A and B are shown apart, each in its own frame.
Chain A
Amino acid sequence: MLIKIKGSWELKENQITSLKDYISRRGFIKNAGIMGAASAASLMSSNVALAEESLSTVSNLYDGHDIMDEKTDIKAVRGYNNYYEFGMNKDNPARYAQSLVTDPWRVKVNGACENPGDYNVEDLIDFNALEERVYRMRCVEAWSMVIPWVGVSLSEVISKLKPTSNAKYVYFETLADPKQMPGLSRGIIKWPYREGLRMDEAMHPLTIMAVGLYGEKLANQNGAPMRLVVPWKYGFKGVKSIVKISFLEKEPNTSWMRLAPQEYGFYANVNPNAPHPRWSQATERRIGDFRRRDTLMFNGYGEQVASLYSGMDLKRNY
């Protein structure tokens, strides 16, 4: 039994549309148009395949989304992805990630912790305590989605690994297997993909390790078998298909920082007042919407996370 104090970001359960109602409503017809007939057909088949892989969540729902936020169509969530290991175009991951083998999956844990070693996903994540978290996801490219993730707080994973007092940062790596990932043949990024969080960010209750979305196991293109979700940061912080977790004393050099340090910082907090050098971050387009909407500070999670950064100049620490 999981006992949780309801946070201010939560919605009452009766305010949340169930997946069944969601699918059957008019928006489904509208959005069905968006992804094309081919992907609609593949979704239907993948739904069949995934039916036995559905995940049950414990009853309470953390809910960071406003009642005005409609959940993004599952076909967009599964068909419009940035996962460069599988290609540069948004529809490449859905096409090329299908062959990724996610079972068995080993995660190497090392650094400043008491329990280093090689783990299975099940060793790190308690599948009997999964929660659904409906979060806004804001990509640094100025589009956004609302996704009902399934996972556990990262803090629960971390507490199993028992970091020592030297652990100031957590570092993650995505799988980099050229045999399974055609995108690796191009050196867009210095593979493997690297990300990291400050320890207090990692332990924050909003930060989750996700294993599913919309009540089903993660599709490969969404970062199966497990990925990070940090809702107040730009999407690229959400490192996918994690194979390595390290506890570090110093701030790690992450992938996008290496690629363009003047454009992408370690923190990458959603901030409408800190424009990307090449485009404004003041507005965003929610996938499925026609007009842009204003981007919110910390993606709307300021009440929960602003205190992590008190005293910091967020325009300098972008």
Chain B
Amino acid sequence: MKNHSPRIFLHIISLIPATWLFWQMWLWYNFFPHDLTANPIEFITDFTGNWTIRFLLLTLCISPLAKLTKWRLIKYRRALGLYAFSYGLFHFLNYMVLDYFFDWMLILEDIFKRPAITFGMLAFLLLIPLAITSFKYFIKKMAANWKSLHRIIYIITISAITHNYMMVKADILIPVIHAMILSCLLALRIYFILDKKRMFKKK
């Protein structure tokens, strides 16, 4: 029998921030005391945006970690990627609905005039095809194309962190930490590629 507990554990951990947020929003909606500050929409924006980036980085951790430890982790990558998409969708809907309430003039002006928003929107739009094609059906059907399509996660993560970096008013600490983690993950990949080439040469 298959051991499902790591997968269940992963889902529980990944759903904690969302569950907490829904709970707090329910409290807010019902005028109960809550922890979303006096400006809940701004808080939700920050919260969902940060979790999107964290899940993108976690998704990118899987393959180097699997290589380093020889653990069979790749099977958990899709779930993490889909959580990144889900938190990103929440972030996007919060912006469109709660924050700007479909004020298309302002939204379009934001997207086309302000590079910070352009990067964020780009990251979210590029996540959509990845979420759609993350199922087994597409993995089989697309074969080699699937891998090249899913490489855009690098562009997505860079755009998302750039978006965050450009949006903050003064305190760049969090986006800088995220950028450093991403740099390490990219450096590891370069190391693995170079290492592979060296192995081939020896043979």
Contact = CB atoms under 8 A, between A and B. Distances in A.
A162 interface: no
Nearest to B169: A141
B195 interface: no
Contact of B38 (A38, A40, A90): A90
B110 A33 contact: no
Contact of A277 (B40, B42, B114): B114
B31 A80 contact: no
A259 B37 contact: no
Contact of A90 (B27, B37, B110): B37
A192 interface: no
B103 A80 contact: no
Given A141-B169, A188-B170, A259-B170, A32 B39 contact: no
B33 interface: yes
B166 A278 contact: yes
B33 A36 contact: yes
A62 interface: no
Given A79-B38, A279-B114, A287-B39, A40 B106 contact: no
Nearest to B100: A292
A76 to B, nearest CB: 4
A141 B45 CA distance: 13
A278 B167 contact: yes
Contacts of A259: 170
B103 A33 contact: no
B183 to A, nearest CB: 22
Given A279-B110, A282-B106, A34 B38 contact: yes
Contacts of A186: 171, 173
A285 to B, nearest CB: 7
B31 A32 contact: yes
B34 A285 contact: no
Given A32-B33, A36-B33, A278-B116, A283 B38 contact: no
B38 A288 contact: yes
Contacts of B33: 32-38, 40
Contacts of B113: 275
B28 interface: yes
A267 interface: no
Contacts of B110: 279-280
A318 interface: no
B76 interface: no
A32 B170 CA distance: 30
Interface string A282-303: 1101011011100000000000
A287 B171 CA distance: 23
Interface in A135-194: 141, 143, 186, 188-189
A36 B34 contact: yes
B126 interface: no
A35 B116 contact: no
Contacts of B28: 33-34
B32 interface: yes
A29 interface: yes
A30 interface: yes
Given A76-B38, A292-B100, A280 B170 contact: no
A-B pairs, 10 with minimum CB distance: A76-B38, A80-B38, A33-B31, A37-B33, A36-B33, A88-B171, A30-B31, A33-B32, A287-B38, A188-B170
Given A80-B37, A84-B170, A283-B106, 5 more contacts: A30-B31, A36-B35, A141-B42, A278-B167, A292-B100
23 contacts: A32-B33, A33-B27, A33-B30, A33-B31, A33-B33, A34-B38, A34-B40, A35-B37, A36-B34, A80-B37, A88-B171, A90-B38, A90-B39, A91-B37, A141-B42, A186-B171, A279-B110, A280-B110, A283-B103, A287-B39, A288-B38, A292-B99, A292-B103
Interface of A: 29-30, 32-38, 40, 73, 75-76, 79-80, 84, 88, 90-91, 141, 143, 186, 188-189, 259, 275, 277-280, 282-283, 285, 287-288, 290-292
Interface of B: 27-28, 30-42, 98-101, 103, 106, 109-110, 113-114, 116, 166-167, 169-171, 173
